[in-house]
Structure 1
C-alpha cells in the first residue's frame, strides 16, 4: 500500500521540476552548498547555522551535478518517503486502506508539492518527522528494547538539526503518550530520548539565537496567518478544506478502535496541532511563525481525514469498492485543486525569478562592462547564474562571499566606490541590477551603505539611460553625463 502514495508523490514531484529559475532561498542553497567544507563552516559561524546540516548534505549532491534539477531531487525523494510513511502509519494504527487514503491525500496536497520541488530542507524535515513518529509507535510497544528508543532519538535529533523548529515534534509526541496513558516506564524511556535530543540540539540553538537578525523581517502572526496555515494543510481549495475538516471532526467524535498501544487520533491530532500552536504562541513575543517551518506537522491532517472516511464507509461490506471509492475521492480532490498544482510549477511560483534577471544582463551587457547591485543581497542573481555575469566588473565587491564567510560578500565603502567609478573610462557602461521589492522602501532608505551607493551614482554624474523591468527586479544602464 505504501508504494502507491510514494509513486504518486514521486510523479507529482518530478512534474515540472525544472522551472527554469531558482528563487532567492534556493539560490542560497545552490551557491553555499558548492563551497568547500571549510568555507561552509566559515559561513555558518556568522549566518544560516540553522541550515548548516542541509548545506552539508547538499554539498556532495551538487558536486555530482550542479543544476536546478539536482538541487530539488532530494526534496522530491524526501516527499515520496513521507507519503509512504504516512501510509504505513495509517495502516498500522487503523487498516491498510486508511493508510492508502492518508498517503494519497498527503501526496496530492499542493502545499506538499510546493516544498517537494524546492531546494531547501523542509521536505527532508517532514520525512524525518514522519519516520520519528513511526519509530515512536514501535518503541511504545510493551517492553521495547532501548535500541528502538535510541533510533527514535537519533532520527529526531537529525531532523531538528536540519531545522531546529522540528524539536516541537517532541511536544507533540509527549501529548500522544500522555493521551494514550502509556505506562510510566514508557514515558521514562521517551524522556531520556527527548533529553538526549535537547543536548544534541543545544549548541545549534545557542548559535542560531546569535544570528536572529536574519529572521527579523518576520511579523507577529494573527488570524490571517492561522487561517492560511489551515488552508495550506487541508486544501487550499475551499471545497477540499471543508470536506477534510469535516472528516477530521468525524474521526475525533467517533474514534476508530485501537490496534496498537497508541491510537490513530492520539498520534495524528497532536502532530497536526501542537507544533503550530506552540510556534504561534511563541511568535507573539518573538515572531518566527512561517508555514514552511511547520510542513512536518501536516501529516497529521490526512491521517485524521482518512480515519473519518473509514468511519463513514467502513460499515459497507464491499471492501474493494470502499477502497476504490476513497481513492476516487482523493483523485477528485486532486483534479479540483489542479490549478494550484499548475501554479506551483510556473517560474513565478516562488515569488522572484533570478534567472530572468540574469538573462537580461546576459543579453544586454558586454564584456568589460561594470555592474552594481542594489541592495547588497541582489548579488544573489550573479551567484546563482554566474555565466550571465561573466566578464563584468563588480564595482562594489570588496571580498567574495566564500572568503568573507557571508552569503553575498562584503562591499567597499562609499569613498572606495567613488574612487573606483572615477577611474572608469569615459565611455564605460555601468549596469545597475536592482531588487524592485526593496529599493525605494523605508527599509532601503534606512540602509546607510545602500543609500551611499545611490549617492555616488548621482554625485558622480551618472544618469540612467535605459531600464528593463522583470518580475521582482530591474536592470538599468547608467552612463556618465
Structure 2
C-alpha cells in the first residue's frame, strides 16, 4: 500500500467516520431551502452587530444564547450571513455529535456494529435533521453533550486529570450554549454510580470527589450566563406552558420528530437491556437519556418557569442512539455466536451482518415520511412567518421615499422588522415608521416603538404596512393609536395582500 494512501485508509476504518459523513450529507441536503424563522433571524441580526453592540444587547435579552452569538459573530465575519452560511455550523456540529455517538457506543458495547450502527441511527432521526439545519445553538449543544459523555467514559476508565479536562470543557460549552443542557448531570450521576457499583472490587474512590469537582469547574464559566439569563427568563420563556404527565409520556415521540422512529429506537434498545453481556452499560445509557428529561419536567412542574420542549432536550437523543446501537450490536453478537455452531465463521458473520443491516433499516425507513416535512420552504416556521414573501412583494414595487410600519412593542416577539429587513435587498431600506430608536440603539432585538405615533410618521409618501395574521382589515389589527394616525392621513389601504401568517398592505395617499 502506498504511504500516501495509508492515512486515508485508516481514516475510513474509524468507527466515527461514516456516521459523521452520513449525518453531514443528511443534514446538508436542501440546507438553504427552508426560510429563516424568527429565532434564526435573531441569530442573524445579533451575530452581525458590532462586538460592542452585541455585548450591550446581552445585558438586556438573550444572554442564555450569548456564547453562541459570539461564536456566530466570528463565523459571519468570515463566511457571511447567507442562509446557508448561518446554518453550516449546525450541520458540522451534528456531524460531530454522530462521531461522538459512535465512539461512545464503541467504548460501552464494543465492536464496530454497535458503534457504526449507533452513529447511523443518530443520523436518521428527523429532529436531528431539523436542527442540523437551524441557525441556533441546539446542534452545538447536542455535540458538546455527546462529547462530554465520551470524555466522561474515558475519565472513568482512567481518572487522570488530563482526561477530566476535556470533559469539563465540553460541559462548559454545553452549559454556556444552553443552560438546560446541564440537566444531563442527572443522568451522568447515575452513570457514575453504576460504574462504581460495577467496578466496586477495584473502584477508584477518588471518583467520588473528582467527578463533582470536574462538574464544578465546568459550571464556573456558565455562572455569568445563569445570572444574566435568570433576570431575562420571564420575557424569553413565559410562553412555555407547564407540562402535564401525558406530555411527559408522549415526549419521546416529539423528541424524535416521529412516533414510528421513536418506537423503532425503543425496540432496538430492548436487546441491549435484556441480553447478557453489556446489560449494565445499557442501563447506564438509558438513565443518561431519561433522567435529564425527567429532571427538566419536574423543575418545569414545580418551579415558576417551564423549560419542557423538545429542542431544549435534543441533547438526550445521542444517548438513545448509543442504546439502540448497542441493541443492534447485541443481536449481531448473539446471532453470530449461534450461527457459528452450525456453519462456517464467514457465513455466520454474513448472516449476522445481514440481520444487523435489516435492523438498522427499520428506523431509517420509518424516518422517510418525516424527512421531507423538515425541508420545505416554510418548514421552520409552519409558513406562519413569511418574511421572504413580504420582502419580495415590497421590493417588486418599492419607490424611493416609501416607509414601513410593522409590529413593535408587545408584538416584537414576531421579529417582523429584522425578518423582513434580512430578506430585503441591501439597496432597499424603507423609512422605519412609528420607530423611536433602531434595534441597535435600543440594545434589543427589535426597534423601540414611538410613544406618540403622530410624531413618528417621518418624511414618507407611501407606507407598506405589515400586521400579524391574515386579515382583510390590516388597520384593525394595529394598536389603536397607530391605526388612527394612518386612517387620518391615508384612509383605507390601497392594496391588501394576505401572505399566510402576515398581511401586507400599501397605504398610498395618491389613490
TM-score (norm 1): 0.90
2:363 is matched with: 333
Q: Paired residue for 2:66, among 52, 58, 73? A: 52
Change (3 A) 1:439 1:467: closer
Q: CA separation in 2, counterparts of 1:223 and 1:458?
A: 50
Match of 2:288 among 271, 275, 278: 271
In the alignment, what sits opposite 2:199? none
1:129 and 2:140 are equivalent in the alignment:
no
Residue aligning to 1:164: 179
Three-state SS of the structure 1 residue aligned to 2:52 is helix
Structure 1: 5+ residue runs without aligned partners? none
Task: Pick one of 303, 307, 317 that aligns with 1:298.
Answer: 317
Give the aligned partner of residue 329 of structure 2.
310
SS where residue 467 of structure 1 aligns? strand
Equivalent in 306, 316, 319 of residue 349 of structure 2: 319
Q: How many residues align?
A: 465
- Are the structure 2 counterparts of residues 235 and 165 from structure 1 closer, same or farther at C-alpha, using a change threshold of 3 Å? closer
Equivalent position of 2:344 in the other structure: none
Q: Distance in 1 between matches of 2:47 and 2:257?
A: 33
Q: Secondary structure at the match of 1:112?
A: helix
Find 1:208's aligned residue among 229, 250, 254. Answer: 229
Change (3 A) 1:92 1:25: same
Task: Give the conservation status (yes or no) of the 8 Å contact 1:399–1:410.
Answer: yes
User: CA separation in 2, counterparts of 1:16 and 1:145?
Assistant: 44
Relative to structure 1, the CA distance from residue 214 to residue 459 in structure 2 (aligned partners, 3 Å threshold; closer, same or farther) is farther
SS of alignment partner, residue 299 of structure 1 = helix
> Using a 3 Å threshold, how does the CA distance of structure 1 residues 93 and 20 change in structure 2: closer, same or farther?
closer
| Structure 2 residues not aligned, in runs of 5+ | 1-14, 197-202, 337-347
Secondary structure, in 3 states, of the residue corresponding to 1:119? coil
Question: Against the structure 1 CA distance between its residues 340 and 383, is the aligned structure 2 distance closer, same or farther, given a 3 Å change threshold?
Answer: same
Pick closer, same or farther for the CA change 1:183–1:437 going to 2, 3 Å.
Answer: farther
Deviations 1:299-333 (A, max 9, x none): 11122222223333422222344234323433343
Separation in structure 2 between the aligned mates of residue 211 and residue 91 of structure 1, nearest angstrom? 41
Match of 2:455 in 1: 419
Residues 1:60 and 1:418: Cα distance change in structure 2 (over 3 Å): same
Rounded Cα–Cα distance in structure 1 between residues aligned with 2:275 and 2:23: 30
Residue 250 of structure 1, CA deviation: 3.5
Q: Which residue of 2 aligns with 1:478?
A: 507
The answer to whether 1:392 aligns with 2:430 is yes
Decide which of 220, 223, 234 is 2:242's aligned counterpart: 220
Please give the alpha-carbon distance, in whole angstroms, between the structure 2 residues aligned to 1:372 and 1:47. 23
Distance 2:250 2:423 in 1: 33
Give matches, 1:243-254, under 5 Å: 243-254=264-275
**Are the counterparts in 1 of residues 402 and 464 from structure 2 also a CA contact under 8 Å?**
yes
**What is the rounded CA distance, in whole Å, between the counterparts of 1:255 and 1:310 in structure 2?**
12
- Which segment is superposed worse, 386-395 or 88-97? 386-395
* Deviation at residue 127 of structure 1 after TM alignment: 0.4
* Aligned equivalent of 2:493: 464
Q: Residues 229-268 of structure 1: matches in 2 within 5 Å?
A: 229-234=251-256, 236-238=258-260, 240-254=261-275, 256-257=277-278, 263-268=280-285
Against the structure 1 CA distance between its residues 320 and 79, is the aligned structure 2 distance closer, same or farther, given a 3 Å change threshold?
farther
What's the offset of the Cα at 1:57? 0.6
Q: What does residue range 372-383 of structure 1 map to in structure 2 within 5 Å? A: 372-375=405-408, 376=412, 377-383=415-421
What is residue 407 of structure 1 aligned with on the other side?
Answer: 445
8 Å contact from structure 1 (residues 464, 478) kept in 2 = yes
SS of the residue corresponding to residue 408 of structure 1 reads: coil
Given that 1:255 and 1:265 are in contact with CA atoms closer than 8 Å, whether structure 2 keeps it comes out as: no
Does the 8 Å contact 1:358/1:388 carry over to 2? no
RMSD: 2.5
The equivalent residue for 2:164 is 149
TM-score, normalised with respect to structure 2: 0.85
- Output the CA distance in 2 between the equivalents of 1:31 and 1:463: 33
* 2:56 is aligned with 1:42: yes
The reply to whether residue 453 of structure 1 matches residue 482 of structure 2 is yes
